[in-house]
Amino acid sequence: MVNDRIGVYVCHCGGNISDVVDVYKVVDAVKDEPNVVIAREMMFTCSDPGQKQIEDDIKEFNLNGVVVASCSPHLHETTFRRAAARAGLNPYLLEHVNIREHVSWAHKHDKEGATEKAIKIVKSGIAKVREARALETIKVEMPPKVLIVGAGIAGIRAALDLSKLGIHVYLVEKSPFVGGRVAQSYNAYPSGKFGMELIEELINEVKQQKNITLITNAEVTSIKGVIGNFSVEIIKDPRYVVADCPRFKEAIDKCPIEVPNEFDYGLTNRKAIYYPYPNAYPELPVIDMESCNRCGECVKICGDAINLDQQPEKMRIDVSAIIFATGFDPYQPNEGEFGFNVFESVITLPQFERLLALCDKKLVYKEREIKDIAFIYCVGSRQREGNEYCSRYCCVATINSALAAIEKFGEINTYHIYRDMRTYGKYERYYEEASKKGARFFRYSLDEPPEITQKGEKLIVKVKDKLTFNEEIELPVDLVVLSVGMVPRKSEIFSMLKVPFSRDGFLQEVHPKLRPVETAIGGVLIGGACQAPKDSVEATASASAAAAKAATYLLKGYAELEPFIVEVNLEKCTGCGDCVKECPYDSIQLKNINGEEKAFVIEAACRGCAACAAVCPEEAINLRGYTYDQLRAQIDAMLM
Amino acid sequence: MTGENFKPKILIFAAEMAYRGIDAAGLMKAEYPATTYVIRIPCASMLRPDLILYAFKKGFDGVFVASSGEDCPFLTDCVERTAERIEKAYDLLQENGIERERLKLAGICSVCVEAFVKHVNSLYETLKKLGPIKKG
């Protein structure tokens, strides 16, 4: 039972193909192949008239298979499959072969060879279509519920977008308060608003929404299932503050414990019962039980609002899709890297931003007023070994902080010791403005990094400046700020779902341009800096994109998956279970079918790698659209 | 048919990313021999060792398995799994008296133009030295 009425279309692509490949000769060579009923050359097959011709032929000749030989299927396979579908042909009975990128462009000095090659691969396409079967996309029900992990600026943005479309969002945040890294930043470029204000504005919107369930102080401990049906376990740690009370401030004042406040990177202290910063959300404070001595002073003031014996709570939710918005960590310099942890006046950019926020009128660090600051760029970025990537946001963020320092505290000298200045796009004006305001720039190379020494009260930064032909310059400063990049966060849940990582350790999209916010795992999307270093503008843009992508199937109520998954020939299957062991996604299992153990495919979970098919001793498993019979037929045809 | 006139025929199994890499080679007008024929597959770990042997028995002089390598969108351990298949294929080749140099595996990313051309050309040169495959 083969497809016996096949149409073949060989494209000129203007001249992109036909200048090298003799398309007439190709048509001539295949028109009498068995089962080919019509073969044509076409000037532009992808054009409207080109598509129309295919559609007309499908109807006129009652075609049950089509081969289009033109550009790469990554360009126009979908175009031609849609054309086939419009004419009533199952779109998977169309095979797109590539005689442009793989032939005419690659072999332009061997026209004869290119034409021969085109003939062979068109024949191979015909052979494949002959064996092709009609396939249906896999439909998966999608109840409108989404889990978003991480309530930083990206997670909140995505939650708002989805909620406004009527989709329910579970927004899970590990720390007791929302806002993430942006809340900690000083004035986030380019709006010039304080990070906390941005978060507050978004949270005010969240409060208007009925579709957002915010779960803070909670960790996702397990995710099982597939697109349309993820079962998620969450453990909500006790906050110990269980109800509102008008006297929280008194309770906090009364608390006898003082520990460094992580939110300010230890620049300030907090109590055991605390808010990390004023206006933090949720409005209930939290008790840090690791430092609490259970003295009970706060209970005396707030009574039942505080329960020191509150227990962790296990929750289970079902969702159709997941968006990871888990963010990044700032690079933590090594002991002694540019004097870090050796000299107390060497701090990182995130610490500096907190310092800017906390100081009033005068910029003071460790009780000394700061007048001269050296910023060292590319710390922990673009290394030869280690973090090879550029975090990109740091150049702009550093200059922006320097400008903010000058604006807030007046006379401050800033020295910028950089490798390459990447104030890309709209942000070049920050660089220009800094230059106008007296910022001085020095350029160092990776091989000769600046050295830091102490001289009296000052730190001396010695830099070999490439801008002045390697002149050695010594800069006496009060503070050295290390412009650190972003590093990926690790989490058990990523490996639970087997989300792929990029070379740099961030979460990897399927394709940077074609599918920028989807991961290889169906229904698992990424937004914000968990994907790659991003500033808050890029983070919210990608978060909105992830929300929109999730909405495309959630609003339809179902997702359509490509039909290229494996299937089992039950007659051949002996139930040996080799395939079950091979599948990394638990999508194939043994099941009793009519009294016999047989391999059984969970269609929504199969990702179509077909690793199982390769190890089957009986060749009982095949990948739809790429069956071994088809591959063998292709091989045969290429050698004819 | 050996020596100057012999043009080895190479079958290329190109997985998702490698297929794009070969597209990119065309886009960059990188040149390599025309007697190279691509069969598109999603992931190289689907290759049965016996299918590789089949290609040789039918008359291909060489087989190049261009996997997506580390960039495989299907499997995080695609490299290891594919390597296992290829090891088994080498055993099959040996049993059938086919030189192992005729089979090559490499990870080709979506922009790995140079790597692709280098691998194809070096396999081509190797095959020229080895001469045509014995069919059947």
- Read off the pLDDT band of A463 (50, 70, 90): very high
Chain B CB contacts of A117 below 8 Å: 34-37
In the CATH hierarchy, which top-level class contains the domain B11-130?
Answer: alpha beta
Chain A residue at shortest CA distance from B27: A101
Residue type, A458: K
User: Are A478 and A514 in a shared domain?
Assistant: no
Distance (Å, rounded) from C-alpha B120 to C-alpha A424? 39
Return the closest-CA partner of residue A318 out of A206, A223, A221. Answer: A223
Section A240-248 average pLDDT: 96
Q: How confident is the model at residue A275 (pLDDT cuts 50, 70, 90)?
A: very high
- Tell me: do A281 and A298 sit in the same domain: yes
- Residue A140: inside a domain, yes or no? no
The torsion angle over the Cα atoms of residues A84, A86, A87 and A93, rounded to 10 degrees, is 30
Selection from A478, A116, A123, A550 nearest residue A325 by Cα: A550
Whether residue A629 is contained in a domain is answered as no
Please state the length of chain B: 136
Percentage of chain A exceeding pLDDT 90? 89
pTM above 0.95, yes or no: no
Do A340 and A442 lie in one domain? The reply is: yes
Both A252 and A355 in a single domain?
Answer: no
Which of B42, B46, B77 lies closest to A614 in CB terms?
Answer: B46
Q: Is there a contact between B30 and A610 if contact means CB atoms under 8 Å apart?
A: no
- Tell me which of B74, B79, B111 to substitute to probe the interface with A (most A C-beta atoms closer than 10 Å): B74
- The encoded tokens of residue A218 equal 């909670």
Sequence-separated (6 or more) residues with CB below 8 Å from residue A459: A339, A343, A345, A346, A374, A452, A453, A476, A477, A478, A479, A480
Q: Identify the pLDDT of residue A74.
A: 87
Same domain, A156 and A186: yes
Does the CA dihedral A13-A19-A21-A22 come out positive or negative?
A: positive
* Cis omega (within 30 of 0) for bond into A476: no
Residues of chain B with pLDDT under 70: 1-3, 136
Q: Which tens digit of pLDDT belongs to each residue from A436-460?
A: 999 999 999 999 999 999 999 999 9
Render pLDDT for A553-590 as a digit per residue (tens, 0 to 9): 899 999 888 899 999 999 999 999 999 999 998 899 99
Instruction: Please report the pLDDT score of residue A226 as a whole number.
Output: 80
Test B45 with A634 for CB contact under 8 angstroms.
no
Q: Which two tokens stand for residue A420?
A: 């390459």
A405-to-A291, A372, A394 alpha-carbon distances in Å: 34, 11, 16
Q: What is the pLDDT of residues A160-204, one digit of tens each?
A: 999 999 999 999 999 999 999 999 999 888 877 899 999 999 999
Domain tally, chain A? 5
Is A108 in Cβ contact with B40 (below 8 Å)? no
Contact residues on chain A for B34, CB-CB shorter than 8 A: 103, 106-107, 110, 113-114, 116-117
Q: Which long-range contacts (CB under 8 A, 24 or more apart) does A536-542 make?
A: A536/A153, A536/A182, A536/A185, A536/A188, A536/A195, A536/A198, A537/A190, A539/A152, A539/A153, A539/A154, A539/A157, A540/A153, A540/A154, A540/A157, A542/A154, A542/A516, A542/A517
Omega before A282 within 30 of 0, i.e. cis: yes
Tell me if residue A86 falls in helix, strand or coil.
helix
Residue A508 corresponds to which amino acid? Answer: Q
Q: A634 lies in a domain?
A: no
Distance CA A409, CA A364 (A): 10
Q: Are A162 and A547 in contact (CB under 8 A)?
A: yes
Centre a 10 Å sphere on the Cβ of residue A236 and count the other Cβ atoms it contains: 16
Same domain, A272 and A319: no
- Residue B61: closest C-alpha in chain A: A639
Mutation for B interface: A105, A509, A622, A624, most B CBs within 10 A: A105
What domain range includes position A275? 248-305
Of A372, A357, A370, give the one whose Cα is nearest residue A416. A372
Q: Report the side by side order of strands in the sheet with A524-526.
A: A212-215, A168-172, A145-149, A321-324, A524-526
**DSSP secondary-structure letter at A533?**
-
Q: Is the pLDDT of residue A299 over 80?
A: yes
Cα A320 to the center of its chain, rounded Å: 18
* List of residues 6+ apart from A65 with CB closer than 8 A: A3, A5, A6, A7, A35, A93, A94, A95, A126, A129, A130, A132
Q: What is the C-alpha separation between A115 and A126, in angstroms, rounded?
A: 16
State yes or no: pLDDT of A102 exceeds 70.
Answer: yes
User: Is the separation of the CB atoms in B77 and B67 below 8 Å?
Assistant: no
Give a yes or no: residue A510 inside a domain. yes
**In sequence order, what are the residues at sequence separation of 6 or more whose Cβ sits closer than 8 angstroms to the Cβ of residue A522?**
A140, A226, A227, A559, A561, A604, A607
Are A597 and A575 within 8 A, CB to CB? yes
B residues 46..105 contacting A (CB < 8 A): 46-49, 51, 54-55, 58-60, 70, 72-78, 81, 85
> Of the residues A540, A557, A574, which one is the last residue of a structural domain?
A557
CB–CB of A113 and B37 under 8 A? no
- Are both A316 and A336 inside the same structural domain? no
CA distances from A423 to A30, A431, A585 (A): 56, 7, 43
User: What value does the mean pLDDT take over residues A268-286?
Assistant: 96
Within 8 A by CB and 6+ apart from A392, the residues are A422, A424, A533, A535
Cβ separation A635–B54 shorter than 8 A: yes
| CATH, residue A611 | 3.30.70.20
The CA distance from A284 to A264, in Å, is: 19
Give mean pLDDT, residues A474-494: 95
Q: Which residues of A touch B68 (CB under 8 A)?
A: none
What is the Cα–Cα distance from B35 to B5, expressed in whole angstroms?
Answer: 13
Is A87 part of a structural domain of the chain?
Answer: yes
Q: Return the DSSP state at A102.
A: I
Cβ–Cβ below 8 Å for B43 and A611: yes
Residue A549 lies in a domain: yes
A600 pLDDT higher than 90: yes
Going by pLDDT thresholds of 50, 70 and 90, the confidence category of residue A525 is: very high
Nearest CA in chain B to A119: B37
Rounded Cα gap, residues A389 and A380, in angstroms: 9
| Residue from A122, A564, A609, A640 to probe the interface with B (highest B Cβ count within 10 Å) | A609
A472 and A337 in a common domain: yes
* Residue A410 burial (CB count, 10 A): 11
Average pLDDT of span A102-110: 96
Write the CB contacts of A454 (distance below 8 Å, at least 6 apart in sequence): A343, A460
Asked whether the beta carbons of A99 and A70 are under 8 A apart, the reply is yes
Supply the ipTM of this predicted assembly: 0.97
- Cα three-residue angle A540-A545-A550, rounded to 5 degrees: 125
Instruction: State the CATH number of the domain containing residue A514.
Output: 3.50.50.60
Asked if residue A632 belongs to a domain, the reply is no
Q: Does residue A640 register a pLDDT over 90? A: no
Please give the pLDDT value at position A276.
95
Beta-bridged to residue B33, according to DSSP, are: none
Complete DSSP assignment for B5-73: G----EEEEE-HHHHHHHHHHHHTT----S-EEEEE-S-GGG--HHHHHHHHHHT-SEEEEEE-GGG-S
pLDDT digits (tens, 9 = 90+) for A62-94: 999 999 999 999 889 999 999 999 999 999 999
Kindly report, residue by residue over A309-356, the tens digit of the pLDDT.
999 999 999 999 999 999 999 999 999 999 999 999 999 999 999 999
B20 at interface of A, judged by CB pairs closer than 8 A:
yes
